[in-house]
Amino acid sequence: MKTKLTALLLALCSGLAFGHEGIELGPNQGRIVEFSDNETMHGEITEKDGKLRVALLDKDMKPVRVEAQSLVATAGTRQKPAKLEVAKDAEGFAMPVPGENEWLILQFKADAAGKLFTARLHYNTKNCEPCSRPEWRCACASKKG
């Protein structure tokens, strides 16, 4: 019993210590989100001049030209979600930055008849101490292993 309790405690603590596990950064040091079932379409989220930018990347992390793809963005709280205005150009999508500690929900379609993919991002701008980057794009997981 003591061994099982110790193993459970270690598992819980390791999850806290490595809270950024699984966050992937793209070629522009932006946060990667998945827009496919088989990792053939990614979105790289970066921030510049008070806007979030979502660039599309292929399986090799090379830029994809935006044509028929669509993106809907929602931010806020569960009690008060707000749709964000999304601008589209050949390079990607741009939208206002969500509020501190809000969730950003991205709904992506490769084309009008395509499957809907949903990605979620907790927009936490507090700096991570080890890497000095905002938590929403913390690089700690990239430096591990």
Per-residue pLDDT reduced to its tens digit, 42-54:
999 999 999 999 9
Sorted by where each begins, the domain ranges of the chain are 22-143
* Tokens of residue 48, six digits: 């510049």
Bridge partners (DSSP) of residue 48 are 51
Per-residue pLDDT reduced to its tens digit, 54-91:
999 999 999 999 999 999 999 998 899 999 999 999 99
The type of residue at 131 is C
Tokens 């090379």 sit on residue: 62
Please calculate the CA angle 38-44-46 and round it to the nearest 5 degrees: 165
The topology (CATH level 3) of 22-143 is: Immunoglobulin-like (2.60.40)
Average pLDDT of span 27-55: 95
* Tokens of residue 40, six digits: 């053939």
* Tokens of residue 89, six digits: 């150009």
